[in-house]
Amino acid sequence: MYEHLKIEERGMVAIMTISAPKSLNALNSAILNEIGEYLDEFDTQRFRCLVITGDGEKSFVAGADISEMAGLGPEHGKTFGRRGAEVFRQIETLPCPVIAAVNGFALGGGCELAMACDIRICSENAKFGQPEVGLGIIPGFSGTVRLSRLVGMGMAKQLIYTGKPIKADEALRIGLVNAVVPQAELMDKAMELAGQICANAPLAVAAAKLCINTEYDMDAEEAIAFENQAFGMCFSTEDQKNGMQAFLTKGKCEFQGK
């Protein structure tokens, strides 16, 4: 169905692998459009978590496709950037959690893709960076927005201004990734985490994601009020009734997403 994506389904977890080995999975318009199409059709009733990774052991996504960008003028450059930003925003706002399993280079658009995910786990050989200024451009898929929110303004400026990549251990130290594991254990760790998420009430997880994403730019009073609305909504679900009853009776609840 897709030329550059491999889709696997494991129970309530979907795995999307970006596959363009010759370019180290670099993102071009065709790949961005395929990701957007997949997300447009993503069944959040069936899947409670999405894992995104890259094909091979060398690269998650090496960046955006420079061969496509090299000949662009200002308007076409803006259009290309907007499409990447739109697709990454789809990932960020997908109701279910998205885990990036970063299996190598995550540079430029690859780092931006990882940052659009909720949680980032990487292999020991992973490298992260925003090298765009060395090409005469800036991060164009919302990298200047998300990087500072994840690692702080000072560190984001250093990474973007210098364009220098960092290794997995440094990415963990500054809070860019949640965990570093051996390459051979990466997908197992991602699936273990996805399984822990899937065991919980999906409507509650979706509400928590919405709150965290939405409240970031609100002042404290607005954010607290927004959370209160979402908290109250949870009490209209069967999952809440069944989950609390199971707790009180020391039973086990299989959440249905209702």
Q: 74-113 pLDDT, tens per residue?
A: 899 999 999 999 999 999 999 999 999 999 999 999 999 9
The pLDDT score that the predictor gives to residue 221 is: 85
> 115 by DSSP, 3-state: which?
helix
pTM reported for the whole predicted model: 0.91
- Domains of the chain: residue spans and CATH: 5-198 (3.90.226.10), 202-248 (1.10.12.10)
Sign of the torsion formed by the C-alpha atoms of 92, 130, 165 and 70? positive
Of the ranges 30-34, 209-213, 232-236, which one carries the lowest mean pLDDT score? 232-236
**What mean pLDDT is reported for the chain?**
94
SS3 5: strand
Query: Is residue 112 flagged as an active site residue?
Result: yes
Task: Tell me the residue type at 2.
Answer: Y
pLDDT digits (tens, 9 = 90+) for 220-246: 888 778 877 877 777 888 888 888 888
pLDDT, position 150: 96
Q: Is 8 a catalytic residue?
A: no
Give pLDDT, residue 225.
81
Tell me, what's the pLDDT at 223? 75
| Residue with the larger pLDDT of the pair 173 and 252 | 173
How much is the pLDDT for 228? 78
Which of 57, 86, 92, 112 is catalytic? The answer is: 112
Give Cα separations from 233 to 111, 229, 238 (angstroms).
Answer: 35, 6, 11
Q: Which of 132, 185, 222, 238 is catalytic?
A: 132
Q: What is the rounded distance in angstroms from the CA atom of residue 170 to the CA atom of residue 164?
A: 12
Q: Is residue 182's pLDDT more than 90? A: yes
